[in-house]
């Protein structure tokens, strides 16, 4: 049947419309199908085979630009080039700039070649073709590759083909972009899954939204039980961050970060330390944001620091103890040296006298020929013997008192009366040195509980010392008084050389003598005050000393109120 020319034209228009409708349908289906395509590879094969193949193109090859070699490699195909589900026959690579594809990739603009025989750029693939259409694939503003179609017919491709293929390329490009960013995100997510740092995402109130396995490990619990709880209460031990909560939240809401060290107690009760930094995640100020906590474990450092601190403390105590021990050993050495010097002097002098004088008198008839001398020597021997006896007695007394072998025989006595008796006995000694002793008694009626012999020994020793260590013609003043606490005090003051402050403590130790060189001129073994101290201890009394070198000394015996007898005689 012969058609009229306008009928032919109409038919042509109808065919065109139908083709366009078909193409739009396929493009629409493509757009919808994009949603379910998971990877770039699958997408490219889908485009080559299902989209371009269906759109009436005889064949289609998609090239991908390799970023390292800058070659265009065939990655998907339909038509004769496609020999299996995802197989490409004669898979070739074309350098950027070479061939029609290389030119399109280079210039980033599509090309339609009407007659390939006329184009010297044409590179023949498996089958010879007469015309070609090629459009670039753009991803994130860069050439990703090209979509290329060839046809055996001369001048086959027109503007319609170009429009359709450009649309396909554009849809494909955006899908690739989406695939790449999903891939990047999943890579990032994988990194976060794998890092040893704890990563916690929380909302602006501190409610945990998500966390990584390192966080589960720190808390020794599953993510499910962490999500929904408050981050601040999670730092259970972190009194510091808990108390700083308003401040931290304020900082975060203002878009600033927070950094600090927090202890984290796991469900197994183990406490581990983390240096955490908290920052807003969405980079926006305001209440609706989220924040991210990243924490690095520092438990080992903390434990090391603590044990270092501890060891340091131990070392310090040890060094203190050592210094103390050293001091003590120095004192002990000094005491021992003083002991040897004193004792040997104190023992040798009387022993020499005894041996020497008795030696002289041993010769026959010495005594008959020198009766007066003999009497004198005998007196020397006698006094040396007495001295030795008192020395030995002192030593024995001190050790027995210290060992509590001697008990006080407490009696009620009048201290002033006792002091007067001592003065009668000692008066001669003072007189020999022209020393004047006065007694000032505030309350002559006070009675105390004390061992009488011990009391006399104490007072005699103190007055003895005052005489020994005072210059001739000086004054000694003894005073007694009730003190504020209702105790009783007896002081012996002299105008002697006094004692250095540094030696006030040691003079009460046996065999130690203050200012050794000076004291050497004066007889004494350094036992007097040690004996006084022990005697007072035994009687629950105390002694103190005040002295200023060059200005004399005052020794004060303190009788506790309990030992002061309260009867009407003592009432004021
Ligand atoms: P000694 O008198 O035998 O040396 P003491 O134990 O009685 O032993 O005294 C110890 C030291 O205390 C004395 O060597 C002396 O240096 C010092 N001392 C004691 N009493 C006085 C005093 N009244 N004035 C100055 N120094 C004193």
Q: Please give, one letter per residue, the 3-state secondary structure of 504-516.
A: CCHHHCCCCCCCH
Q: What is the pLDDT of residues 216-262, one digit of tens each?
A: 998 888 999 889 988 777 665 545 566 667 777 777 777 778 888 88
Q: What is the pLDDT of residues 90-99, one digit of tens each?
A: 898 999 999 9
- For residues 238 and 226, give the distance between their C-alpha atoms in angstroms, rounded to a whole number: 17
Specify the residue with its C-alpha closest to ligand 1, atom 2.
524
Q: How far is the CA of 477 from the centre of ligand 1 (A)?
A: 17
Say how far apart CA 305 and CA 300 lie, in whole Å. Answer: 8
Atom nearest to 512 CA in ligand 1: 10
How far apart are the CA of 459 and the centre of ligand 1, in A?
Answer: 14
Q: What is the pLDDT averaged over residues 434-447?
A: 92
For 135-149, how does the pLDDT look when each residue is reduced to its tens digit (9 = 90+)?
Answer: 999 999 999 999 999
* 284 backbone dihedrals φ, ψ, rounded to 5°: -125, 145
Query: Cβ(469)–Cβ(435) under 8 Å?
Result: no
- To test ligand 1's pocket by mutation, which of 459, 517, 528, 546 has the most ligand atoms within 8 angstroms of CB? 528
* Cα(559)–Cα(536) distance, integer angstroms: 9
Residues 185-190: contacts with CB within 8 Å, 24+ apart? none
Cβ of 519 below 6 Å from ligand 1: yes
Q: For residue 121, is pLDDT > 60?
A: yes
572 has pLDDT over 60:
no
CA distance 257 to 280: 7
pLDDT digits (tens, 9 = 90+) for 331-358: 777 667 766 776 777 788 888 888 888 8
- Give pLDDT tens digits for 293-335: 899 999 998 888 888 888 888 888 888 888 888 888 777 776 6
Ligand 1 centroid to Cα of residue 439, in Å, is 21
pLDDT-derived band at 571, boundaries 50, 70, 90: very low
pLDDT for 283 equals 55
- What is the predicted pLDDT for the residue at 187? 87
- DSSP structure string for 8-41: HHHHHHHHHHHHHHHHHHHHHHHHHHHTT--SHH
CA–CA separation, 334 and 521 (whole Å): 19
Q: Six-digit token pair at 139? A: 């991803």
d(C-alpha 56, C-alpha 19), whole Å:
9
Give the tokens for residue 547. 């002295």
Is the CB of 56 inside a 6 Å radius of any atom of ligand 1?
A: no
């Amino acid at each position: 049947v012969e058609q009229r020319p306008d009928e032919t034209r109409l038919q042509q228009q109808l065919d065109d419309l139908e083709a366009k409708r078909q193409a739009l349908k396929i493009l629409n289906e493509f757009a919808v199908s994009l949603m379910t395509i998971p990877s770039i590879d699958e997408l490219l094969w889908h485009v080559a085979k299902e989209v371009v193949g269906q759109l009436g193109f005889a064949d289609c090859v998609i090239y991908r630009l390799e970023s390292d070699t800058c070659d265009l490699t065939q990655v998907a195909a339909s038509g004769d080039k496609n020999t299996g589900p995802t197989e490409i026959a004669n898979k070739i690579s074309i350098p950027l700039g070479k061939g029609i594809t290389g030119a399109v990739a280079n210039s980033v603009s599509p090309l339609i070649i009407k007659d390939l025989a006329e184009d010297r750029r044409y590179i023949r693939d498996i089958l010879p073709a007469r015309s070609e259409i090629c459009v670039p694939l753009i991803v994130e503003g860069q050439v990703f590759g090209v979509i290329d179609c060839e046809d055996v017919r001369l001048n086959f491709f027109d503007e319609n083909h170009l429009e359709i293929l450009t649309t396909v390329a554009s849809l494909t490009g955006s899908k690739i972009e989406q695939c790449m960013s999903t891939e990047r995100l999943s890579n990032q997510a994988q990194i976060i899954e794998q890092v040893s740092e704890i990563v916690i995402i929380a909302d602006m109130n501190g409610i945990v939204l998500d966390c990584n396995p390192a966080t589960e490990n720190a808390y020794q619990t599953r993510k499910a039980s962490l999500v929904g709880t408050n981050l601040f209460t999670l730092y259970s031990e972190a009194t510091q961050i808990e108390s700083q909560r308003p401040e931290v939240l304020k900082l975060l809401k203002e878009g600033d970060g927070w950094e600090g060290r927090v202890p984290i107690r796991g469900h197994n009760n183990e406490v581990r330390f983390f240096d955490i930094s908290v920052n807003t995640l969405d980079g926006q100020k305001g209440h609706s944001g989220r924040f991210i906590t990243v924490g690095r474990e520092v438990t080992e450092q903390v434990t090391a620091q603590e044990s270092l601190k501890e060891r340091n403390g131990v070392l310090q105590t040890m060094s203190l103890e050592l210094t103390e021990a050293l001091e003590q050993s120095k004192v002990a050495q000094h005491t021992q040296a003083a002991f040897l010097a004193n004792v040997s002097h104190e023992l040798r002098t009387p022993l020499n006298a005894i041996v020497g004088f008795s030696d002289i008198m041993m010769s026959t008839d010495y005594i008959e020929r020198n009766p007066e001398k003999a009497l004198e020597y005998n007196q020397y021997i006698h006094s040396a013997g007495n001295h030795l006896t008192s020395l030995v007695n002192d030593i024995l007394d001190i050790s027995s008192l210290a060992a509590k072998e001697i008990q006080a025989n407490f009696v009620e006595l009048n201290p002033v009366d006792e002091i007067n008796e001592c003065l009668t006995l000692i008066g001669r000694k003072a007189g020999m040195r022209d020393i004047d002793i006065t007694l000032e008694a505030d309350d002559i009626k006070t009675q105390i509980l004390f061992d009488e012999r011990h009391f006399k020994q104490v007072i005699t020793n103190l007055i003895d010392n005052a005489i020994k260590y005072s210059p001739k013609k000086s004054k000694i003043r003894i005073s007694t008084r009730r003190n504020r606490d209702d105790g009783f005090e007896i002081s012996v003051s002299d105008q002697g050389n006094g004692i250095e402050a540094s030696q006030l403590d040691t003079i009460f130790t046996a065999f130690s003598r203050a200012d050794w060189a000076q004291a050497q001129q004066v007889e004494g073994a350094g036992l007097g005050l040690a004996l006084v101290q022990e005697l007072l201890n035994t009687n629950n009394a105390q002694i103190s000393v005040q002295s200023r070198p060059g200005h004399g000394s005052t020794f004060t015996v303190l009788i506790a109120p309990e030992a002061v007898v309260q009867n009407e005689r003592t009432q004021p």
